[in-house]
Amino acid sequence: MFLLNSFLLSFLPPLSVLRLGNTANSIVAAKQTMKLSDRVLCLCLTAANINRALYFICDNVLWARNVGLIRSIDKERWSIHAFRYYLFSLVMNLTRDLYVISQLMMQKVRDNRFKWKMNQHLKECPEVAEVTIPELDALVFLLLETLRSEPTVALDTVKNICDLFIPLDRMGIYKSSAGVVGFCGLISSLIGILTFARSTLRIKP
């Protein structure tokens, strides 16, 4: 037991620095996004980064409680606070994604080349137009083409949707099976690794 405690304590400094670094990075990111000229992006990203920083603060406190550095706190209460901040951060990031997608879709609608491509699609799929609302089919086609042409937005949206299942499940808002939560976590992690390895796939700002 003594050896185990000594082993864990040897990792405390680097782990604590890493956790505090995540909090500091979120605060710095919030300061940067406050300068964005687009007010919607400014609001969404600043709110997301502030809540992310609050999440890491709660996570740091919980980590200190788990390793025995702090004992006199309500672990369950702090855990709920952490997931609440995490959930709101994800919601604001998803709002940003939807806003960016809507802006890109409007740009495509104004593109004459895309209009021709969409008309060709509707002509080649007459059976689809007969059983569905043509406007709906055009909207789905527009959405899919937008996501296909902007993989950074598509990946970020999928990642944020997958991440949503974790706080929703932990807070009891939408209970999912362990398999669903684990699968969504796996997809999110793979996308995170991919965007880390290829910076061109990372959404900006």
Tens digits of pLDDT across the chain (205 residues): 433 344 344 444 454 555 677 888 899 999 999 999 999 999 999 999 999 999 999 998 888 888 888 888 888 999 999 999 999 999 999 999 999 999 999 888 887 776 667 666 666 665 544 445 556 777 888 899 999 999 999 999 999 999 999 999 999 999 999 999 999 999 999 999 999 999 999 998 8
- Return the structure tokens found at 79: 């855990």
Residues 29, 170: Cα–Cα separation, whole Å? 27
Reported pTM? 0.82
DSSP 3-state of 154: helix
Number of neighbours of residue 107 by Cβ within 10 angstroms: 11
**Nearest one of 163, 134, 161 to 147, comparing CA atoms:** 161
